[in-house]
Structure 1
Amino acid sequence: MMSRWRMKPGLRAIVATIGVSLVGEAIGGGQGGVPEPFAIEVVDAETGRGVPLVELETVNNQRFVTDSNGLVAFLEPGLMGQSVYFHVRSHGYEFPADGFGYRGKALQVEPGGSARLVVRRLNIAERLYRVTGGGIYRDTALLGREAPIREPLLNARVLGQDSVLAEPYRGTIRWFWGDTNKVSYPLGNFHVPGATSLLPSDGGLDPEAGVDLTYFVGDDGFAKPTAKLPGEGPTWLGGLTVLRDAGGRERMFAGYAKIKPPLETYESGLVEWDDDAEAFRKVTQFEGLPPVHPTGHTLQRTEPDGTRHVYFTTPFPLTRAPADSEALADPGRYEGFTCLEAGTTFEDRRLDRGPDGRLRYAWKARTPPLDQAQQAELIKAGLMRPDEALLGLRDPDTGREVRAHGGTTYWNEYRKRWVAVFVEVMGEGSLLGELWYAEADTPLGPWAYARKVVTHDDYSFYNPKHHPFFDEDGGRVVFFEGTYTHSFSGNPVQTPRFDYNQVMYRLDLADHRLNLPVPVDHESVGARDGGHAPALFALGRPGDGTVPVYSVEDDQGGHSLVVGDPPTPDAIPAFHALPADLATPPPTTTPLYEFTRPDGAGRLYATSDAIEGYRRSELPLCLVWVDPVGVPIPDTGETLVDRGDKPQEARP
């Protein structure tokens, strides 16, 4: 059962008195009385849960922001006892508009009274609470209500924290952040503060309720540095991972970078956690910044040959190193999955092509992968064709390219796929605040279609981190957080208390809006080429207006596709598609045709206009989705994944 924090009656009176001491007489009409605040609760129409980060603004521009319980404690001189209009707005949520287009409501504000406002969630993901900073449950406290965490107002004197890293280590979750603001001065901790929390299975809070952080603190009570390495400038960490040594003992490592203006790395290397010192110690210093190095977040995977690797996700796991301490300390052991010539970088513009002219993607030591922006540059320069790009993320409804920036990828047991949560760069709603979800059959892809799950209006929400140790219901419900900040957004208005802090979201992978086109294998459609490029993309689950497609084996060992009614009572669809006669199909779809040999000896199904030696059907069977990647994904031997080494399936 979720633990609760309850304010004692005496403390409640003190907090209330402090909150209104300067205006008590004005509010109380000169009688010395201090009225109770008016409680405004904003809830999600779908779940009934309080929604954090909802802004309520009066006609004279007084702004109030709901706390992590979705509450505002309103106690404003001159407005108590009045009908007060509040504009209601929040990133990814919407309040109904009136006839003039205003989204808000007039509330009769009375001391001790309350009102509830219901907002409709536009985001697929649900905002839960703020993880870090001061006043997480400020209004809850002022109203004398319960908060689910131990430190609802101020923890380790932390007011703001950038970009989280988190991994289970020796029985607890270890949390580390970037630059951190404190109460007593504008400059705070620039050398990686840290904290611990209990796993939900070991007495920690349910992630739906919150995270009880126990910070490593200094003598002054402020969150202390855990990576104060020699040299000027901040210390940043990335690539946090936990390995087991030969004796089975866990050891925690991370890559480090020393930063100088303007955000330039002048030193990098590897650090290891020292339990006694409660700090990281330097293991090795790299020469400069190697082309492939520990960064982002990590997952671990055992290959078919038994080799175990640490993969670094930014957001896709396209760099790796052997999962042992000696290899992590050696930049020469890091590899990138790339089409660059071995030992080169993007700046060299040297692509690895075989005698047949095809690009050769492979794991190559000290050679970085290409990101989407680099792919686009090479395509524009005529050095790469669009169908040779490894990353082809698209919105399935519009076909618009989605350029991924930071994020994570992990195996998901519910979807039986690798799932990625990442932030888009140059998004439509914000420069660096649109979060997307994608999934793939292998860690290398194909990363093809993605769906937006969180949006922000001219505000940043970067470096999202999915926490697989919080997954619930067999992976159906996942939790992720990110850094909410005005930085890089162009928005000069900072949200009080929330800005430069971590905010947690919950995402239900059973949501029908996350039904994305996925690869359909060649066997299911009777294709000739048994390689690893998918025959087509279709839906693995039924969707709005879709039709089931069944694969039936014929007498000759081939397959025929049947659209609509099942061929047998127990038949299971091979995939789901859109009807061939759909009036306005999405621009990402294409007709699927049946191809037969003139002698009737065989049939194929493809989106091609013609196949030599085959006759195409006059009408298409259905509409499927185009392959936005085009690069054959090598067989990654999807048999052992993650720390649990669980068997994996890879079909819709």
Structure 2
Amino acid sequence: MRNIVWLLLITWCCAPRLSLASDCFEIRVIDAATKRGIPLVELKTVNEIQYVTDSNGIAAVNEPGLVNQEVYFFIRSHGYEYPADGFGYRGKKLKVTSGGNAVLELKRINVAERLYRITGGGIYRDSLLTGEPVPLKHPVLNAQVLGSDSVQNTLFQGRVYWFWGDTNRTSYPLGNFQVPGAISELPERGGLPIERGINLEYFVDESGFASQICPMPGPGPTWIDALVTLEDESGRERLFAKYVKVKAPLTVYERGLVEFNSETNRFEKRKTFDFDAPLYPVGHPVRHEMEGRDYLLFGLEIPLIRVPATVDALGQLSEYETYSYLQPGAKKGLGTVDRDDRGHVKYTWRKGVPPLSDDLEQRLIAEQQLRPEEAFFQFRDLKTKQRVQLHNSSVAWNAYRGKWTMIASQKNGTSMLGEIWYSEADSPLGPWKWGRKIVTHDRYSFYNPKQHPLFARENGRLIYFEGTYTTLFSGNKVKTPRYDYNQIMYRLDLSDPRLAADQFAQ
């Protein structure tokens, strides 16, 4: 019996193992142009073992049966490409060894560069397994958060405040549906350089999970948007947002205004809005001076709604106007087209009518109230000249271009809500005529993009933006481990010749 035990111990000790950090085989995948690691690269073996690179672009191969074997890895990544061989396979054969490593280069097809994942678990999992340095204080789990949907953020009291939609947790399939939140420091005030990552300090409950920041009464989740910091008459900064209550299937039944309480770290209700009011704050706000007055602009596709940038006006829906040619009409949500004496559509700031949208204009065209060439929404692909229907956008002033820049998601296309576009215009209202596709996904959604002017670098030459990476709405049932339902940061270099300014001025 003793001899059998010794034989088993010797066999176990001598067997190839990849259980320790030093034993893992490290595959680092880098951008051929920037030499930076690429997150979200899928490496799959012939027998369907799949690895996905972390935010350093590292995959830790820890399969005992692959040690000291030549292993073929299929290589795939949204917006990146590895050369195909004579049989059309895109991949590479590597000799997997204990503690060994390999570097693979991918050509970036996307104009924008994928930098890192912001939320969720295992952001730097493979880096830790291979002993590589990581930038985050919490590289694999922060506040027990595994997934977060749709970000809102702004500068408040000298720090960046972040809020998300529904959030998954480690201990149960149902998580936080009443707005989680976190704080981070600006890079120039002790935070990480934005190209390296964001150290989020979550508001947490007694269990350590991201706490409910906006627990509004009523059934269903609470979501917020239109997050904005304003100074009141005394000069005190105050943080506001619009909230909505949602019931199945994604039906909004209440909306109103909330204000953040810095002492309790909770949003408190200030007002319930008239649900039938056509104009209210929505989307990512844009601050802009018009007619000698400071305004906030709101909108989902294009910021066509304005209200004076004051605390009092923000909560008064009677103060809201939209740039439109619509007159109040008998049909709810539609209206009639206003024209001047020459028959041209007549634009002005109006109250009491819904904001223009692509869908609304298509209905007007179908009813022959509007000709296609008269539509406000004329956004087109610079490459194909085809019309593009926008879903959601984030607009900001860019000093490098001397223009307003837009980062927008597409309603349809190669992948449902999976394409991201860049455009620029002289005004936040547009006209937004031409766009360049800068990010694409294969049967995967990437929606609700948020541009981050707070983090723009080199006078705005480098733009940073994020979005939600998820299978939702894509029809794809195969979810990317750890990445699905999380926020991913991208960087866009406006000096890229594919974004030459003269293209957008046609």
| 1:392 maps to which of 372, 375, 378 | 378
Given the alignment of the two structures, is residue 497 of structure 1 paired with residue 479 of structure 2, yes or no? Answer: no
Letter paired with 2:457:
E
Q: Following superposition of structure 1 onto structure 2, how do residues 254-293 of structure 1 map, counting pairs within 5 Å?
A: 254-293=241-280
Q: Residue 479 and residue 268 in structure 1: after superposition, are their counterparts in 2 closer, same or farther (change >3 A)?
A: same
Letter paired with 2:208:
G
- 1:343 Cα deviation (Å)? 7.3
Q: Residue 266 and residue 99 in structure 1: after superposition, are their counterparts in 2 closer, same or farther (change >3 A)?
A: same
Q: Following superposition of structure 1 onto structure 2, how do residues 447-486 of structure 1 map, counting pairs within 5 Å?
A: 447-486=432-471
Alignment partners' CA distance in 2, 1:87 and 1:448: 39
- 1:83 Cα deviation (Å)? 0.3
What is aligned with 2:136?
149
What is aligned with 1:323?
309
- 1:345 Cα deviation (Å)? 7.0
| Contact 2:383–2:436 (Cα < 8 Å) also in 1 | no
Given the alignment of the two structures, is residue 201 of structure 1 paired with residue 188 of structure 2, yes or no? Answer: yes
What is aligned with 1:38?
25
Alignment partners' CA distance in 1, 2:73 and 2:14: 24
What is aligned with 1:508?
493
Deviations 1:235-275 (A, max 9, x none): 00010011011122111111010001111111110001101
| 1:230 maps to which of 204, 217, 224 | 217
- 1:33 Cα deviation (Å)? 8.7
Given the alignment of the two structures, is residue 211 of structure 1 paired with residue 205 of structure 2, yes or no? Answer: no
Q: Residue 435 and residue 285 in structure 1: after superposition, are their counterparts in 2 closer, same or farther (change >3 A)?
A: same
Deviations 1:6-35 (A, max 9, x none): xxxxxxxxxxxxxxxxxx999865588956
Letter paired with 2:477:
P
| Contact 2:453–2:463 (Cα < 8 Å) also in 1 | yes
Letter paired with 1:332:
S
Q: Following superposition of structure 1 onto structure 2, how do residues 366-377 of structure 1 map, counting pairs within 5 Å?
A: 366-377=352-363
Mean alpha-carbon deviation: is it higher for 342-351 or for 140-149? 342-351
Alignment partners' CA distance in 1, 2:280 and 2:469: 27
What is aligned with 2:337?
351
- 1:354 Cα deviation (Å)? 2.5
Q: Larger Cα Rg: Structure 1 or Structure 2?
A: 1
Alignment partners' CA distance in 1, 2:314 and 2:383: 42
Deviations 1:280-312 (A, max 9, x none): 00000012252111111011112232x221111
Q: Residue 28 and residue 480 in structure 1: after superposition, are their counterparts in 2 closer, same or farther (change >3 A)?
A: farther
Alignment partners' CA distance in 1, 2:309 and 2:11: 66
Letter paired with 1:61:
E
Given the alignment of the two structures, is residue 59 of structure 1 paired with residue 19 of structure 2, yes or no? Answer: no
Alignment partners' CA distance in 2, 1:258 and 1:159: 23
| 1:363 maps to which of 349, 352, 355 | 349
| 2:85 maps to which of 71, 90, 98 | 98
Q: Following superposition of structure 1 onto structure 2, how do residues 560-639 of structure 1 map, counting pairs within 5 Å?
A: none
What is aligned with 1:87?
74
What is aligned with 2:5?
none
Question: Please, what TM-score do these two structures have when normalized by structure 1?
Answer: 0.74
| 1:163 maps to which of 126, 146, 150 | 150
- 1:374 Cα deviation (Å)? 2.1
- 1:347 Cα deviation (Å)? 3.5
- 1:315 Cα deviation (Å)? 3.5
Moved over 3 A (4+): 24-35, 342-349, 516-519
What is aligned with 1:78?
65
Deviations 1:493-542 (A, max 9, x none): 000000000000000111111125568xxxxxxxxxxxxxxxxx54xxxx
Identity rate, percent: 49
Alignment partners' CA distance in 2, 1:33 and 1:491: 32
| 1:107 maps to which of 91, 94, 98 | 94
| Contact 1:449–1:517 (Cα < 8 Å) also in 2 | no
- Other structure's SS at 1:78 match: helix
| 2:173 maps to which of 172, 186, 194 | 186
- Other structure's SS at 2:498 match: helix
- Other structure's SS at 1:297 match: coil
Given the alignment of the two structures, is residue 310 of structure 1 paired with residue 299 of structure 2, yes or no? Answer: no
| Contact 2:227–2:242 (Cα < 8 Å) also in 1 | yes
Alignment partners' CA distance in 2, 1:33 and 1:471: 41
What is aligned with 1:409?
395
Alignment partners' CA distance in 1, 2:334 and 2:391: 22
- 1:346 Cα deviation (Å)? 6.6
Q: Residue 34 and residue 159 in structure 1: after superposition, are their counterparts in 2 closer, same or farther (change >3 A)?
A: closer
| Contact 1:352–1:360 (Cα < 8 Å) also in 2 | yes
Q: Residue 402 and residue 346 in structure 1: after superposition, are their counterparts in 2 closer, same or farther (change >3 A)?
A: farther
Q: Residue 280 and residue 308 in structure 1: after superposition, are their counterparts in 2 closer, same or farther (change >3 A)?
A: same
Gaps of 5+ in 2: 1-8
Mean alpha-carbon deviation: is it higher for 290-299 or for 210-219? 290-299
- 1:446 Cα deviation (Å)? 1.3
| Contact 2:333–2:354 (Cα < 8 Å) also in 1 | no
Q: Residue 233 and residue 33 in structure 1: after superposition, are their counterparts in 2 closer, same or farther (change >3 A)?
A: closer
Identify which of structures 1 and 2 has the higher relative contact order when contacts are C-alpha pairs closer than 8 Å and 6+ apart. Answer: 2
Alignment partners' CA distance in 1, 2:125 and 2:399: 38
Alignment partners' CA distance in 2, 1:420 and 1:25: 64
Alignment partners' CA distance in 2, 1:388 and 1:430: 29
Alignment partners' CA distance in 1, 2:490 and 2:30: 15
Q: Residue 153 and residue 139 in structure 1: after superposition, are their counterparts in 2 closer, same or farther (change >3 A)?
A: same
Given the alignment of the two structures, is residue 421 of structure 1 paired with residue 407 of structure 2, yes or no? Answer: yes
What is aligned with 2:207?
220
Q: Residue 113 and residue 389 in structure 1: after superposition, are their counterparts in 2 closer, same or farther (change >3 A)?
A: same
Alignment partners' CA distance in 2, 1:374 and 1:173: 36
Q: Residue 351 and residue 32 in structure 1: after superposition, are their counterparts in 2 closer, same or farther (change >3 A)?
A: closer
What is aligned with 1:17?
none
Q: Residue 456 and residue 34 in structure 1: after superposition, are their counterparts in 2 closer, same or farther (change >3 A)?
A: closer
- Pairwise CA RMSD: 1.8
| Contact 2:125–2:139 (Cα < 8 Å) also in 1 | yes
- Other structure's SS at 2:360 match: helix
- 1:344 Cα deviation (Å)? 7.3
Letter paired with 1:366:
G
Q: Residue 342 and residue 28 in structure 1: after superposition, are their counterparts in 2 closer, same or farther (change >3 A)?
A: farther
Alignment partners' CA distance in 1, 2:277 and 2:482: 38
Alignment partners' CA distance in 2, 1:512 and 1:121: 15
- 1:229 Cα deviation (Å)? 0.8
- 1:383 Cα deviation (Å)? 1.3
Alignment partners' CA distance in 2, 1:32 and 1:322: 65
Letter paired with 1:266:
Y
- Other structure's SS at 2:64 match: coil
- Other structure's SS at 1:141 match: helix
- 1:87 Cα deviation (Å)? 0.2
- 1:75 Cα deviation (Å)? 1.0
Given the alignment of the two structures, is residue 175 of structure 1 paired with residue 162 of structure 2, yes or no? Answer: yes
Q: Residue 83 and residue 238 in structure 1: after superposition, are their counterparts in 2 closer, same or farther (change >3 A)?
A: same
